[in-house]
Amino acid sequence: MPTAPEPALSVRQVLGLERVLAGEPEVVAGASHLDRPVRWVHVAEAPDVGVMLSGGEMVLTTGVLLAGDVEAQAEYIRSLHRAEAAAVVLGLGRAFPAPPDVMRRAAERCGLPMVVLHRPFPFAELTEEVQSRLVRRKFAAVSLSEAVRTALTGLITAGAPLQRLLDEVASHSACPVVVTNLAHRVLATAGERSAVDDVLRDWERIARQAGGSEGDGWVRAELGGRGERWGRIVLCGYRGDAATGRLLADRAAEALVLHRMLGGSAHSWEEQSAQSLLTDLVSGVVPARQLLPRARAAGLPVNRRTFVPLAVRDGDPAHLDRVLRMLGLPGLVAELADGATAVLLSLARDQDAEALTTHFATRLRTESGGGGKGVVAAADPRILWDDVPAGLREAQHVADAVAETPAGLDVPVVVRLRDVHLRGLIRLLRDDPHVQSFAERELDGLLCGGGAADQDLLPVLRTYLATGRNKSRTAQLHHVSRPALYRRLEAIEARLGVDLDDFEQAASVHIALLAHDAQQG
């Protein structure tokens, strides 16, 4: 853990220096305040030294001007206390052969650490040693700050994603790092996986608490700019010293604000967070159970819920998210790699999952201005979180299958596995070599046709079969007269060498065509 030490030494640390130990220091008062920071070391014999101090100094004196004047000794201590000196060190010798009782008692009352040196040595050696250490510490803090800032700025200018920035911060902090939005939703995390999971497991309790408290190494920095707050970054259980933790959190917050401002869209972090979670769920690389803390921290209710996995082709995730909010449906939305947008709804157990899915899909269609865009493919609701990945894959599969439905045909507002019938099965089998060669064999006559007139035979065949061999509907959908359609169907039959009025032959061609389309998709 590369840390910059506190820019100040404590009284205790100064007393522990080898040079000081040689002077046989003894703490005679204020022993419970030895952790005070020493900002500077000051040698002063003046009785009114208090007026020259600005707080945090360790004052070294032989007390030569105080000897014999009891009142002056007590006032000397009081003036140091008023000036918020860190400690007073008295070198025993000619002026005070033994610790003066008046000063000791006054120091004890004020809570000012008082140290006597039984073997005094030149004070200059001590000031030099302590001062150089203080300067080195300040330099180390500035240097760490610069190193972190340079690294983060480099990542931002290279266009690195949020996660990369956080990984960098976590490499310095050696503890989990969490970014949340104003709704306490966890947008991103970094750090060792198991430590992050431990933090997220308890996130509900921590985040839902209005207010929140510092301490226990939880270092928070607000994220915001232009008078607006967006969220915060939290170092969870930072084990280094407080000043370094603060420095890291502040540098990280600056970088994140810059990243967000340069990155544009206000929703991008939320989207990225949902995307990484849903992608991990669908891929199955990480067991679902292990993703539960992340899902909960991302704001998805997970206790005693029904999960409805959905997939929407050509859906804009931001739009889908707006519709979910409008309807008050809790869920996560993210575009997956293949162009389908996954939506995972979380409903209360007593809610009617089917009715609410239809409600969502209907509103989505209205809000999109009607049309076939944004068909919602749904898997069966899942009660168990472990079943969610399979559900998401099922919804994706249904969405893919329905995407191959010829344009113009009615598609229900919510499409399920049972609605895609044979199309669904063929899609699952599309990579099978037997199915591929079957499709090629069956359709060879059309696929190898070269002329421009042949170009629209395949679409006509597709519509004709999809409409259940309905000639008038097919003619209508292709904007051709019925006689023109008959001529095309005759051409198709001739090319393929089949009789489309024969059910089995037509079914065979239909299956081949579905397989052909699935392979293209």
The backbone region for 272, taken as left when phi is positive above 0, alpha when psi lies in -120 to 50, beta otherwise, is alpha
Nearest alpha carbon to residue 491 among 460, 469, 467: 460
Closest contact distance (angstroms) between CB of 414 and other proteins is: 14
Sign for the pseudo-dihedral over CA of 169, 175, 176, 177: negative
Closest contact distance (angstroms) between CB of 355 and other proteins is: 7
Nearest alpha carbon to residue 73 among 51, 90, 97: 90
Binding site for other proteins (CB under 8 A): 182-185, 208-211, 227-229, 266, 299, 301, 322, 325-330, 348, 350-351, 355-356, 359, 363
Give the contacts of 516 (CB within 8 A, at least 6 positions apart). Answer: 439, 440, 443, 447
Rounded Cα gap, residues 369 and 319, in angstroms: 12
Asked whether the beta carbons of 505 and 498 are under 8 A apart, the reply is: yes
Show the tokens assigned to 404: 């191959």
Nearer to other proteins, 227 or 371 (CB): 227
Locate all alpha helices (DSSP H) within 404-502, ordered by sequence: 417-428, 433-447, 457-466, 471-477, 482-496
Nearer to other proteins, 207 or 475 (CB): 207
Q: Which amino acid is at 122?
A: P
Closest contact distance (angstroms) between CB of 277 and other proteins is: 15
Closest contact distance (angstroms) between CB of 203 and other proteins is: 12
Closest contact distance (angstroms) between CB of 184 and other proteins is: 7
Nearer to other proteins, 255 or 324 (CB): 324
Nearer to other proteins, 333 or 496 (CB): 333
Asked whether the beta carbons of 347 and 305 are under 8 A apart, the reply is: yes
Nearer to other proteins, 189 or 474 (CB): 189
Nearer to other proteins, 229 or 471 (CB): 229
Closest contact distance (angstroms) between CB of 321 and other proteins is: 8
Rounded Cα gap, residues 271 and 289, in angstroms: 22
Nearer to other proteins, 2 or 330 (CB): 330
Show the tokens assigned to 46: 């003046």
Show the tokens assigned to 448: 């190898």
Determine how many CB atoms are found less than 10 A away from the CB of residue 317.
Answer: 21
Closest contact distance (angstroms) between CB of 206 and other proteins is: 11
Nearer to other proteins, 113 or 299 (CB): 299
Closest contact distance (angstroms) between CB of 182 and other proteins is: 6
Closest contact distance (angstroms) between CB of 347 and other proteins is: 8
Rounded Cα gap, residues 423 and 306, in angstroms: 28
Nearer to other proteins, 301 or 449 (CB): 301
Residue 111 C-beta-side C-alpha neighbours within 13 Å: 6
Show the tokens assigned to 37: 């920071």
Place of tokens 């201590």: 77
